[in-house]
């Protein structure tokens, strides 16, 4: 099961945007039911950092809300896609002004 960009969840959002709340909620619940089943045992967290809160979304999100510096790692792909579109406005020259930080990753 793919979480990021999941087709069923995409369909759910489409239904919500079209004002079809009942269908949106139905599809969303199907997505969540599949998620619960698939990730009963499996690791759902895409974060690669060496972090003691790996996979513990409740505490991970609380930490990020508390320090307010950046988002949980699993959100990066989605947010970077949006930033990339905005970055086109300056022909991605912002890339010349930034350098990604060194990160301590966990062992696979
Ligand atoms: S919220 Fe934190 S713990 Fe949960 S999937 Fe995202 S990075 Fe992992």
Tens digit of pLDDT per residue, the chain (108 long)? 999 999 999 999 999 999 999 999 999 999 999 999 999 999 999 999 999 999 999 999 999 999 999 999 999 999 999 999 999 999 999 999 999 989 999 987
**Span from the CA of 67 to the centroid of ligand 1 (angstroms):** 15
Cα separation, 46 vs 75, in Å, equals: 9
Q: Residue 18's pLDDT is what?
A: 98
Distance CA 81, CA 36 (A): 27
Q: pTM to 2 decimals?
A: 0.89
Counting ligand 1 atoms within 8 A of each CB, the residue from 74, 78, 106 with the most, and so the one to mutate, is 74
Tokens of 105: 């990753």
Closest ligand 1 atom number to CA of residue 47: 7
Ligand 1, atom 4: closest residue by C-alpha? 57
Is the shortest distance between the CB of 27 and ligand 1 below 6 Å?
no
Pocket test of ligand 1: the residue of 50, 53, 57 to mutate, having most ligand atoms within 8 Å of its CB, is: 57
* β-strand partners of 49: 105
Residue-level pLDDT at 108 = 76
CB-count exposure of residue 6 (10 Å: 0-12, 13-18, 19+): middle
């Amino acid at each position: 099961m793919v979480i990021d960009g999941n087709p069923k969840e995409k369909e759910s959002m489409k239904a919500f945007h079209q004002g079809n709340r009942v269908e949106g909620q139905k599809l969303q619940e199907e997505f969540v039911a599949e998620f619960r089943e698939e990730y009963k045992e499996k690791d759902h967290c895409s974060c690669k950092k060496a972090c003691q809160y790996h996979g513990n979304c409740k505490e991970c999100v609380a930490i990020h809300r508390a320090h307010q510096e950046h988002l949980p790692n699993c959100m990066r792909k989605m947010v970077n896609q949006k930033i990339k579109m905005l970055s086109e406005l300056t022909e991605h020259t912002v890339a010349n002004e930034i350098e990604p930080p060194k990160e301590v990753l966990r062992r696979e």
